[in-house]
Chain A
Amino acid sequence: MLSKLYSATIFGIDSFLVEVEVDIRQGLPLFNIVGLPDTAIQESRERVRAAIKNSEYEFPRNRITVNLAPADIKKEGPIFDLPIALGILAASRQIKQDILNDFLIIGELSLDGTVKSINGVLPIAIMARDIGKKKTIVPINNAEEAGVIKELEVIPVSSLNEIIEFLNGKISIKPIEVDIDEIFNKSKINKHIDFSEVKGQEHAKRALEVAAAGSHNVIMIGPPGSGKTMLARRLPGIIPSLTLEESIEITKLYSIANLLPSGTPLIIERPFRAPHHTISNAGLIGGGRIPKPGEISLAHNGVLFLDELPEFSRSALESLRQPIEDEIVTISRSLSSVTYTASFMMVASMNPCPCGFYGDPVKTCTCSSSQIIKYRSKISGPLLDRIDIHIEVPRVNCRDVLKKDLAESSNDIRKRVEKARNIQRKRFFKENVYSNAQMSRKNIEKYCQIDSNGENLIYKAMDKLGLSTRAYDRILKVARTIADLEQSNKIEVSHLSEAIQYRSLDRKLWLY
Chain B
Amino acid sequence: MNNLGKTGEKTALKYLLAKGYKILEKNYRNFLGEIDIISKFRDDIIFIEVKTRSSHKYGYPEESINLAKQKKIIKIALGYLSEKRFKKNNYRFDVILINVFINNNIDKIRHIENAFYITKNNNPFNLQQV
| Bound-state Cα–Cα, A28 to B116, Å | 6
B15 within 8 A of A: no
How many residues on the A side are at the interface (Cβ–Cβ under 8 A)?
A: 5
Q: What's the nearest-Cβ distance from chain A to residue B115, in Å?
A: 5
Of B60, B63, B65, B112, the contact of A26 (CB 8 Å cutoff):
B112
Distance from B50 Cβ to chain A, minimum over Cβ atoms (Å): 14
Cβ < 8 Å to A, chain B residues 57-98: 60, 62-63, 65, 95
The answer on a CB contact under 8 Å between B113 and A28 is no
Q: Is the CB of A28 within 8 A of B95?
A: yes
Task: Mark out the residues of chain B between 108 and 127 whose CB falls within 8 Å of any chain A CB in the assembled complex.
Answer: 112-116
Q: Quick check: is A61 within 8 A (CB to CB) of the other chain?
A: yes
Give, as a whole number of angstroms, the nearest-CB distance from B118 to chain A: 13
User: Looking at A26, A27, A28, A29, which has the most chain B CB atoms within 10 Å of its CB?
Assistant: A28
B60 touches A61 (CB 8 A): yes
Contact A28 B60 (CB under 8 A): no
Chain B contacts for A26, CB-based, 8 A:
112-115
Across the interface, which residues of A come within 8 angstroms of B116, CB to CB?
27-28
CA–CA, A29 to B62, complex, Å? 7
B41 to chain A, nearest CB (A): 15
In angstroms, Cα B62 to Cα A27, docked, is: 9
User: A27–B65 Cα gap in the complex (Å)?
Assistant: 11
Write the chain B residue with the least CB distance to A29. Answer: B62
Contacting A at CB under 8 A, from B27-71, are 60, 62-63, 65
Specify the chain B residue showing the minimal Cβ separation from A28: B115
Q: Is the CB of A27 within 8 A of B60?
A: no
Cα distance, A27 to B116, chains bound together (Å): 6
Q: Do A29 and B60 have beta carbons less than 8 Å apart? A: yes
A29 contact set on B, CB distance < 8 A = 60, 62-63
For residue A28, which residues in chain B have a CB less than 8 angstroms away from its CB? 62, 65, 95, 112, 115-116
Q: Chain A's nearest CB lies how many Å from the CB of B57?
A: 16
For window 118-160 of A, CB contacts with B under 8 Å fall at none
C-alpha spacing A28/B93, complex, angstroms: 10
Of residues 2 to 58 in A, which have CB atoms within 8 Å of B's CB atoms? 26-29
Q: Mark B10-37, 1 if CB is under 8 A from A, else 0.
A: 0000000000000000000000000000
- Shortest Cβ distance from B97 into A: residue: A61
- Pick the most buried of B63, B112, B114, B116: most chain A CB atoms within 10 A of its CB: B112
Taken together as a complex, chains A and B put the C-alpha atoms of A239 and B15 apart, in Å, by: 81
Query: Could you write out 19 A-B pairs with CB less than 8 Å apart?
Result: A26-B112, A26-B113, A26-B114, A26-B115, A27-B112, A27-B114, A27-B115, A27-B116, A28-B62, A28-B65, A28-B95, A28-B112, A28-B115, A28-B116, A29-B60, A29-B62, A29-B63, A61-B60, A61-B62
Query: Knowing that A26-B115, A29-B63 are A-B contacts, what are 8 other residue pairs whose CB atoms are under 8 Å apart, sorted by A's residue number?
Result: A26-B114, A27-B112, A27-B114, A27-B116, A28-B62, A28-B95, A28-B115, A61-B60
